[in-house]
A and B are shown apart, each in its own frame.
Chain A
Amino acid sequence: MERRIMQNLERSEFDEQWKDAFAGAEVTPSTSVWANVDRGLAVADNTNGKRRIIFYQRLAAACVLFAVAAGAFGIYTWKRSESRLAQLNHGKGGGTNAIAKPQPAEKSSLAQNQVVATGDSLEEKRIAKSNSEKTNENAAQSEASAEEKKVLPQNLASVATNSPTERATELTSVEKSKELESPSMDKKLSLQAQQALASSSSENKKDKDNDELNTNAISKASLPVVADGKSVLNASSPSEIRDASTPLKAGNENKTTDARFTANVQLPALALLPTAEVQSEPRLTEIYRKLPFIPAVFMKDTKSEKMKHEKLWASVTAASGAYTESTGSSYNAYAATKIYASGLQANSPISNAYTAPATGPVPTVGRSYSYGVIGGVRLADRWVLQTGVQYLNQTMGSSTSQYANYGSGGLISTNEFVSVPVQAGYLLINKKIGWQLNPGVSTDFFMRNTLSNQQQSVSQGAGENSPYRTVNFAGLMSSEFSYKLGKNYRLSLVPGMRYSFNPALKSTTTGSAIAWDVGFRFRYIFR
């Protein structure tokens, strides 16, 4: 209050005169000011729309990028593991395959071949040759122990999954059981095996690295064991076994177990295990480490069997988003107006728009929505095919200032299509939570275009005289994230994009529309 009083005291009559002179003063600005304001408002609206479309674009692009990256990683890992397995199976002269299906009568010769195939030195071959002379005598016993072999894979399979210590224990028990079950054994071969072990052991004692020497001894000593068809395992008494394995156990007890494991790992049940690496590097930890890495999501499991029941389904779908058209002559609202507005009633708002500036209106961000039904069928384990019928609506507006004669409210152009999409889906995740990529194409049948403002609207359908193409094509790319509800339903979130291969207008050959949208699908699975 005091300030106001002071202020009034400061103010002189001169100031009051000036204030009175400008009180209620009015000056008319030029007409260009509103045009500029209108343009500025249109740009601001456009900017807001662009922010919205940028959000959709980034969301969809991020989904697609993530899907592609994950898919590439999965394929890379799958190929890598496949080549790894192929190398392990075929890289060593097919030895594993040769023994994969042994016949009782051929067991001794197979074992011999295995020795030659896997042997690293002439000494091994010599031992194998000498053993081969004995194999005929052992044929009968080999047949007798064929039944025992059937038991062994199971035991060894369990050994392979246990720790080395446990395996040693289990193998010892296996030997003991063999000892009890087959008291008759080939002592000669056993002795020969002991000699081989002893000789190799004595030679190896000269070296400094006991572990390495023992490992070599094990691998060499294991060869006659294989050739004999478990002659060592069938030793007459536990003491003999202990004697035979004493030099080995002196170095490393676990490696003794590994040697026997190596000898038997070539059985069918364990054909995929990297036997060659076990022989050269007999540590079980190494085996595990060198197994090909496969992410859990790509491994087959019992759950995927359940998912295979999803062979045929039908779904309802709805999507909404934003789309942009390329500028210039291909802009639908402007070009359509130029083409068929002249045939309308004179001086109508739409026909007045015909006198719009030659440069065409500033395109704004349009909106797009679609809904329809989609059916799908599983073609392969991870491949599906989806198709259906959809209604597609694309609406684009323009600012008022570009259509000065048109009146206020702006011009809105709406294109309507019946769309038939065909998409091939690849299932990246095929579980309760699903994730698939859906590239495809769409055939869009033009229904009508509607130009409208707040007062009036006019439509143009398809046909020979229509400025619009009846059949249009578009490329589709979407990523479908789904969740299975119960046994028969699946709900999906589908961000994606649609790229028109051709403009809707016949008169234009260049320019196209890109739409980014996010949709939902509700799938019913037929069982």
Chain B
Amino acid sequence: MKIASMQSESDLVNQCVKGIRTAQQALYDRYCTRLMAVCLRYAKSTAEAEDILQEGFLKIFNSLKSFRFESSLTTWMTRVMINTALNQQRQKLYMLPMVDVEDAGLKEDEKISLSDFHLSELVKMIQSLPDGCRMVFNLFAIEGYAHKEIGEMLGISEGTSKSQYNRAKSLLRAKLEHGKKDYAKLGEIRI
């Protein structure tokens, strides 16, 4: 296994294309944690995230022969995972179509630092968002897609994507504010 982990990315990919199970396992071991973090942001729960991860890796192994090394392997695999997550969520989005929503009305100038929060808390905050808001926020704020691209990916208008994002941002700000107060309360008690 150690030998496999020392292999170069291209060798590993070539061996995976040949169907060598040890290489496939090595590739999984190398990237599963990073991709699990991605899946957790798009899923509603850890179990759902693991389902996405599993399905995503199967897609990766099946379509690895089409990878041309034009981008980094991490980027390509992350994109496959995101597409897998979106496919899983698309049915939910179809059932509950995204519409324009009003802003929660929090002030933009209110500065909140995320460094006060643990990663798992941030993940939980994102997971608590409504499905549509969660997708759009992940794609815009973290992946860096434009609203027009998100609209095309999710089959919604650019305006809907923007309103969903604003809604997500407002909700997260509220959660962060709430989390901050909770921390403050805990500090008072501790003190």
Q: A18-B142, A21-B119 given as contacts; is B21 within 8 A of A29 (CB)? A: no
B58 touches A44 (CB 8 A): yes
Determine the distance from Cα of A28 to Cα of B114 in the docked complex, in whole angstroms. Answer: 22
- Is A150 interfacial (CB 8 A cutoff)? no
Determine the distance from Cα of A22 to Cα of B137 in the docked complex, in whole angstroms. Answer: 13
A-B contact count (CB 8 A): 99
Q: A27-B36, A28-B33 given as contacts; is B25 within 8 A of A408 (CB)? A: yes
- Is B87 interfacial (CB 8 A cutoff)? no
Minimal Cβ-Cβ distance residue in B for A400: B21
**Size band of the A side of the interface?**
35 or more
Q: A400-B21, A408-B22 given as contacts; is B37 within 8 A of A26 (CB)? A: yes
Stretch at the interface among B49-57, B96-104, B180-188: B49-57
Interface residues of A in 1-49 (CB under 8 A from B): 3, 6-7, 10-15, 17-22, 24-30, 32-34, 36-38, 40-41, 44-45
B169 touches A14 (CB 8 A): yes
Determine the distance from Cα of A40 to Cα of B49 in the docked complex, in whole angstroms. Answer: 17
- With a CB–CB cut-off of 8 A, which chain B residues contact A408? 21-22, 25
- With a CB–CB cut-off of 8 A, which chain B residues contact A29? 32-33, 36, 49-50, 53
Determine the distance from Cα of A24 to Cα of B119 in the docked complex, in whole angstroms. Answer: 11
B114 touches A18 (CB 8 A): yes
Among B19, B40, B144, point to the contact of A19 (Cβ < 8 A): B144
- Is A410 interfacial (CB 8 A cutoff)? yes
**Size band of the B side of the interface?**
35 or more
- With a CB–CB cut-off of 8 A, which chain B residues contact A434? none
- With a CB–CB cut-off of 8 A, which chain B residues contact A44? 58, 62
- With a CB–CB cut-off of 8 A, which chain B residues contact A71? none
The digit string for A300-312, where 1 denotes a CB below 8 A from any CB of B, is: 0000000000000
Determine the distance from Cα of A12 to Cα of B137 in the docked complex, in whole angstroms. Answer: 13
Q: A19-B142, A37-B54 given as contacts; is B33 within 8 A of A27 (CB)? A: yes
- Is B70 interfacial (CB 8 A cutoff)? no
Shortest Cβ gap from B169 to chain A (Å): 6
Q: A14-B112, A26-B34 given as contacts; is B21 within 8 A of A33 (CB)? A: no
The 3 closest A-B pairs by CB, nearest first: A26-B33, A25-B37, A15-B141
B residues apposed to A, CB below 8 Å: 19, 21-22, 24-25, 28-29, 32-34, 36-37, 40-41, 49-50, 53-54, 57-58, 61-62, 108, 111-115, 117, 119, 122-123, 137, 140-142, 144, 146-148, 169, 172-173
